[in-house]
Structure 1
Amino acid sequence: MDAAGSQVADECAPYAGKFQSGILITQGGNLLCSKIIHLITNNRVKSQVSTVLEECEKMMYKSVAFPAIGTGQARQSPAKVADEMMDAIVEFASKKSVQHLQTIKIVIFQKNMFKDFYESMKLRQDADLSTTDSWFSMITSFFWGKKQSPEKKKTITLEKKVYLVTFQICGESQENVDAAESWIKNLILKEQYDTTITNELIESFGERQIAALADLQRRKLVTIELSPPQVTISGISRDVCFVSVEVQTMIQKMKDAEDEQSKAEVLYNLVEWRYLGSNDTFVAFDKLTNMQLEDAKIAKKPYLNVKINTRNYQVDLNTLQAHDDQGKTINIQRVPKNEGKL
């Protein structure tokens, strides 16, 4: 209320204790918004969010920004609040009658709550919301960017040079020859094994991952078939197990990179680190560097090494200056976003 100014406080004063509907709409005052929707705090977060969304649609508002309702003085669990807010938004988005409200934001200032809201949204990211896909992608894109559906890839059997081995079996009778042949086949089959790994990230395998699979197949006695979202590995059991572990490691690295990028997207909507460019204007760091700088600040690290225009710099997080090995100094700034908004 202090940030909004006395004008908003004066506008609220006549309605003190008279909130019949549980909400009150005032002008935006000094905040960077046209209207403020005031709520009476209660434990029904989902109901409150639904009420606000319905009111926004009724008033034909184009956008709305929520704080993490109830996580302040009400001391509600951030995880519970995240789930209730997401449930309310998804239910609202599923209504075909929605025509006006286009953008919904949740503004989180407390870093310890990022994980709760991130996990809540991640659970819903791949949910079956065919009738509300544009709405849900709008919400999730605020946190980690719009997820592109990968093109369906064809099955790829990696090239494998096969060396033939010929057995010549001689025996006193056909029965003995057949028995020897059966024994050899069983011996070979005992050493054969196949396994299939299924993971949606296999859809995103690119040239680097395919080259790594080809190298594994070349070095080990296996055949690898890539049919996104699956990889099938066949061959000598010990080599199949080895390659399977390597493929799982590749997938985990991709998942870690994706999660890191997602977290960087979340943080970028809350704070932006910049460096002074050549035209005396500040330029934003890339999102991963932005996250690394913010993490270093929170961890109270004195320095962090970064790249600026392909050159290595050491950022002094106390003076907000970056220095290279030739003595050049660049000023750095940290700019919080969405401060003062509902």
Structure 2
Amino acid sequence: MLKIEPVVFQLCGETPEDLNEARNMINSSIIREHVNIPICDPAIAHFTREDGEMLNAMQRELSVSVRLEKKGQDSVITLEGLKRDVQIADSRIRDMIRKVDRNGNRRNVAILISSMVQWQYQENGWSVSNFDIFTNYELEQAYQNRQPTLRIKINNDEYEADLVYKEATRSQIKIKLNRDL
């Protein structure tokens, strides 16, 4: 939580009316520059730990308080602080929400593709393993787009996948690929 240091104003004036006018002007300026914005979006419920760390970093960087309340689909982030900083934080959070939405859409498409086509690789020359849904998606996209090669990972090692010959190569190691419909 952002800690804001209090400020003390000492006003001097010739008349009580002058003091009231100065006090009202200061209060008006504070009210104009201080905003409180709730951001409601179902994607907030899917924020990761890294997203939470980004919110904390944003709170430290900007003069803004960031409160995250995860309540299922009714999750809310409340921003409070100086207008310019709240606007910056709001923009960054909207970008984070769009990223969550894109990843969700990508996951849905990857699941759909894996239900129709499954890319596999041979381990130890004989056992066959399926690629994870995202690698499967990337392989199928490249195959459909007639892209001849693609960089992929097999058991955390990076390989160059040749989609024409259906094999993945790393140094002198070659692994057979299979596209199963």
TM-score, normalising length from structure 1?
A: 0.50
* 1:205 corresponding residue in structure 2: 47
* 2:175 corresponding residue in structure 1: 330
Matching residue within 206, 211, 224 for 2:66: 224
**For the residues of structure 2 that align with 1:290 and 1:206, how far apart are their CA atoms?**
23
**For the residues of structure 2 that align with 1:225 and 1:193, how far apart are their CA atoms?**
14
Structure (1 or 2) with the larger CA radius of gyration: 1
**For the residues of structure 2 that align with 1:204 and 1:298, how far apart are their CA atoms?**
31
Q: CA deviation at 1:303?
A: 0.2
Q: CA deviation at 1:206?
A: 3.0
**For the residues of structure 2 that align with 1:214 and 1:163, how far apart are their CA atoms?**
19
| Alignment pair present for 1:160 and 2:5 | no
Q: CA deviation at 1:176?
A: 2.0
| Identity over aligned pairs, percent | 28
| Alignment pair present for 1:299 and 2:145 | yes
**For the residues of structure 2 that align with 1:265 and 1:180, how far apart are their CA atoms?**
63
Cα distance change on mapping 1:163 and 1:210 into 2, 3 Å = same
**For the residues of structure 2 that align with 1:281 and 1:173, how far apart are their CA atoms?**
92
| Count of residue pairs the alignment pairs up | 177
* 1:244 corresponding residue in structure 2: 90
Partner AA of 1:310 in structure 2: N
Which consecutive unaligned segments of at least 5 residues does structure 1 have? 1-158, 337-342
- CA deviations 1:19-50 (Å, max 9, x no partner) are xxxxxxxxxxxxxxxxxxxxxxxxxxxxxxxx
Q: CA deviation at 1:279?
A: 6.2
Aligned pairs (5 A) from 1:116-265: 159-228=1-70, 229-265=75-111
Partner AA of 1:255 in structure 2: D
- CA deviations 1:163-182 (Å, max 9, x no partner) are 22211112223332222111
Partner AA of 2:177 in structure 1: I
- CA deviations 1:280-328 (Å, max 9, x no partner) are 211100000001101100000000100001111001101011001x221
Indicate the RMSD between aligned Cα atoms, in angstroms. 1.3
TM-score, normalising length from structure 2?
A: 0.93
* Partner SS for 2:14: coil
**For the residues of structure 1 that align with 2:59 and 2:53, how far apart are their CA atoms?**
10
Q: Is the CA contact (8 Å cut-off) linking 2:2 and 2:63 kept in structure 1?
A: no
**For the residues of structure 2 that align with 1:206 and 1:321, how far apart are their CA atoms?**
35
Larger RCO (CA within 8 A; separation ≥ 6): 2
Partner AA of 2:17 in structure 1: E
Which consecutive unaligned segments of at least 5 residues does structure 2 have? none
